[in-house]
Structure 1
Amino acid sequence: MCPPEHFTVDYVINPWMDTTVPVDAALAVKQWQLLHDTLTDLGHAVHVLDARPGLPDMVYAANGAFSVDGTVYGARFKHPQRSAEAAAHQLFYAGGPWTFADPVHVNEGEGDFAYLPGAYGGLILAGHGFRTEPAAHVEAQEVLGRPVISLKLVDPAFYHLDTALAALDDRHITYYPEAFSAMSQRVLRQLFPDAVIADRSDAEAFGLNLVSDGHHVILNTEATAMADKVRAAGYTPVHVELSELKRGGGSVKCAVAELRP
């Protein structure tokens, strides 16, 4: 995670950003800290990446890389406003037991990649259409040695995979079908017939931008209907208020890069 010490909305690179509405910087830090503490209280180790001036979106730490079994596929951001974030994430991984692969193709880390280690022997779901290039899916497969299923995103409101789909545990997902092309929906139905299906209101509440440890599903307080859906599926929802981070187009998952050593 990376604290929102420099978080603001000074530019627009997704439909959720509005430069005319000021960010409450103190509240953003308070809400981020609550998410951090919620994760540690649930027994998870949280590593903190230092925030850097001039990079207001660094708080969305999930976008900086994607790791599977000790190998890290780095990010290469589409928008120049975020490009310097990639080096900061690479430096973090250089200090640990990781094999780091510097990408050739544009991709935004866990923003557009999700991993299900128990599905089909280990499966990567990957989004494209707005941020990540389809060629990055091929590159990730070669780097990580896991099959990659390419999914086309078609609604600008859900510009990253992690706004439209989430892993609930090692084998199960939840997703909003209409965020994907018709053929991608068909693929998801075939691979995950027992998925938890979200609707547009769930997605607009950033209810799919969640983090799950297989038991607890951490999601923002606005996503009450989504909480009911995951509870009915056998998980325990845990709410965290992240209203300020939503101003930049992100929520729980965007703020958390999951490490898979």
Structure 2
Amino acid sequence: MKGSSLLSEIRKGEWLLDVHNIAAYYPVINKIFSGTPFQFNSEPKSILSFVDSKGNPLRKNSEGQTIVTSGSIAIVKMHGEVVKTGDYCIYGADEIVNALTIADQNPNVAATVFDIDGPGGAVSAIGLFQEFARDVKTKPIVGFCDSALSLHYWTAIEVCDHIMAANNVSARFGSVGVVLSFADNRKAMEEEGVVFHEIYPEESSHKNAAFTEARKGDYKLIRAEFLSPLAKIFQARVRAKLPNLIEEDGTLKGKTYFADEALKRNMIHSIGGMQKAIRMATVLSSINN
């Protein structure tokens, strides 16, 4: 079933997501689970494009294919929430990493501008970006970011050699943290006559214990076993990738910063625009060569 990746993550996944976006998703989730029809764009825009070193679009051949000439800059987009595997509803980390890989392996591409704008996504997505950065990437990547929050920020520090704010008005960074949010509709279903049974053998006494306690309102176990370990890994990666980071209370505990404040704390490297990002990519390519 197309759309199952997103539905699966909504149902059971842990999220690296800016908390301000969570409440807005519940009406959409309710529509999905109630079977309300959705219309999808059958021809989504490509997340991979190419420009020359001055930012001009490249010409196309008679078949409409872009002619990528030597010294070109690839632009890969990661906009909106991200899950591990893409489907009709959402672009996945697998598709975005594939675009980054195509750009990196094209002999005529000098560097990539990674156009990032989003509140975060599923925890399961980050591993693909780490694998790309560790095992595939050979050319410079400039992160051109409007909102780089939670998963999007983690991705930027893993993949990008230079993180640039798209502007100093709306661009935000941080939200370094993990969240688990779920709606328990069992009471409403029980009122409709639905009876729930969960049966475990003695050999499985710890199975689902954290989630069972969370449904009862006791979050101690789920914090200790699921959320805290992920949050600590996230914090450790930020510190490792940004050794000059200036920490204050909240910097690695979910606080967000606009571009000027993020720059002061060395969470990003510069503030500019797309043309500046393309120039930086070209400069880093020259250094890399």
Give the alignment's TM-score, normalised by structure 1: 0.30
Higher Rg of the two aligned structures:
2
Bigger helix share:
2
Give the alignment's TM-score, normalised by structure 2: 0.28
